Chain A
Amino acid sequence: KAGVTQTPRYLIKTRGQQVTLSCSPISGHRSVSWYQQTPGQGLQFLFEYFSETQRNKGNFPGRFSGRQFSNSRSEMNVSTLELGDSALYLCASRPIGTGFNIQYFGAGTRLSVL
């Protein structure tokens, strides 16, 4: 089975721009979560999607949004980029109904905001 795929792997943007990141979960996994990882704040949960609905949300401003498609693929959007948005953005998927919340992570998208 192919793992979680995130595209692009690297991205450079300037302040004020917006960006869209993409995530394809493991086949059969219907839940997709997004995390932001920075040296200062560590790994922070952004949101989780299941059945095209946001099920859980972390403490991030409304500039961060996401969606999930009927094939479980997910996108994350950040509008009006700030320097502090520079981070590794990680997507993780999991199957539903297995009893444990074990996350399977992609390699991440490294976003640099200049």
Chain B
Amino acid sequence: SQQGEEDPQALSIQEGENATMNCSYKTSINNLQWYRQNSGRGLVHLILIRSNEREKHSGRLRVTLDTSKKSSSLLITASRAADTASYFCALDTGRRALTFGSGTRLQVQP
């Protein structure tokens, strides 16, 4: 399957802690994106990393990409209760449709 597989499926942490979620995939990609979804709402684009990049930062977000292992990780530093959401990786393989991972549900306890 081209779809990304994410782990863990669910993650519960305390406010102030860091949250790490991982995405593994099986196909070649042009870029990999991360999206956030608050409960029952639409997805919001967070960050994009190109296939020739290894690491990217945006505010409290840090994304890494290892194309040899076909894996990516999203690190959220100093988590806040407002970060509670589901996080999805999305693969851009060059076809017009993104393929989304299974998602990680993050719960940040205040």
Residues of A within 8 A of B (CB): 4, 31, 33, 35, 42-43, 45, 48, 55-56, 58, 88, 90, 92, 100-108, 110
The answer to whether A107 touches B45, judged by C-beta atoms less than 8 angstroms apart, is: no
Interface of A is mostly: strand
Q: How large is the interface on B (under 10, 10 to 19, 20 to 34, 35 or more residues)?
A: 20 to 34
The answer to whether B42 touches A105, judged by C-beta atoms less than 8 angstroms apart, is: yes
Residues of B within 8 A of A (CB): 3, 31, 33, 35, 40-45, 48, 88, 90, 92, 95-103
**How far, in Å, is A40 (CB) from chain B's closest CB?**
11
Query: What is the chain A residue whose CB lies nearest that of B43?
Result: A105
Q: How many A-B residue pairs lie within 8 Å, measured between CB atoms?
A: 55
Query: What is the chain A residue whose CB lies nearest that of B50?
Result: A100
**How far, in Å, is A3 (CB) from chain B's closest CB?**
8
The answer to whether B42 touches A101, judged by C-beta atoms less than 8 angstroms apart, is: no
